[in-house]
Amino acid sequence: MNTEEAIQVEKIADTTHEIFALIKQRYSPRTFKNAPIKEAHLHQLFEAARWAASSNNLQPWRFIYAEKGSEAYTKLVSCLSDFNQSWATNAPVLMLAAYQEKTPSGQENFHGLHDLGLCLGNMTLQAQYQNIGMHHMAGVDWKKAHKLFKVPAGFHVATAIALGYYGGALEELPEDLQKEESKKRARMPQKDFAFKHTWKEI
């Protein structure tokens, strides 16, 4: 087994109950195969996003993406936190995800961020099916992103995403991130977040 295969196997979730295989396999890599994402695969990702559920079918999500080597990619990297910049340039594609804050009638779209999350969930599973890893990043300077990418008023950049085919080498990462990348995945138990009949104190 080579290093790339070992990383894949180690990251399969040790679930308490059996779930869909693509969910078990999904994780957020910080290193990617050194290959561009095929244009057809990108279209499939956005098609999966397109068919996500949304409140009143408003589809409030918007994306800006850039391929490595482009001026837009460099600008997008500059919007990331220092920590994310230390590894995100391994990704062949970087993306900003935004949502529309108000409905067409001008009302606050309370569900806009929720709908963006559903949309990204669809995209993430489609990506996993295509052997594409997606690493969602909270560390993004959204104000700078709005300015550099001319995001219009009424939209809010919520997250940045690094995308690429699985199969990168651990050696591409700083030593501390190599340990982080290879450690066992963990999640809180169901009893700590799924409450029957009434809220329970943890």
- The answer to whether residue 108 is domain-embedded is yes
- Count the domains in the chain: 1
- The answer to whether residue 199 is domain-embedded is no
The CATH number linked to 74 is 3.40.109.10
CA distances from 88 to 68, 83, 105, 181 (A): 11, 9, 38, 13
CA nearest neighbour of 61 among 139, 162, 151: 151
- The answer to whether residue 21 is domain-embedded is yes
- The answer to whether residue 175 is domain-embedded is yes
What tens digit of pLDDT does each residue of 79-109 get?
Answer: 999 999 999 999 999 999 999 999 999 999 9
What does 5-48 look like in DSSP terms, one character per residue?
A: HHHHHHTS---SS---HHHHH----S---SSPPPHHHHHHHHHH
CA nearest neighbour of 92 among 67, 63, 65, 128: 67
- The answer to whether residue 112 is domain-embedded is yes
What tens digit of pLDDT does each residue of 21-66 get?
Answer: 999 999 999 999 999 999 999 999 999 999 999 999 999 999 999 9
How many Cβ atoms are within 10 Å of 181's Cβ, its own excluded?
20
- The answer to whether residue 157 is domain-embedded is yes
- The answer to whether residue 197 is domain-embedded is no
Q: Residue 14: which residues within 8 A CB-CB, separation 6 or more?
A: 184, 185
The two structure tokens encoding residue 182:
């290879």
Domain that holds residue 188: 3-192
Q: Binning pLDDT at 50, 70 and 90, where does residue 192 land?
A: very high
- The answer to whether residue 20 is domain-embedded is yes
The two structure tokens encoding residue 27:
């994780």
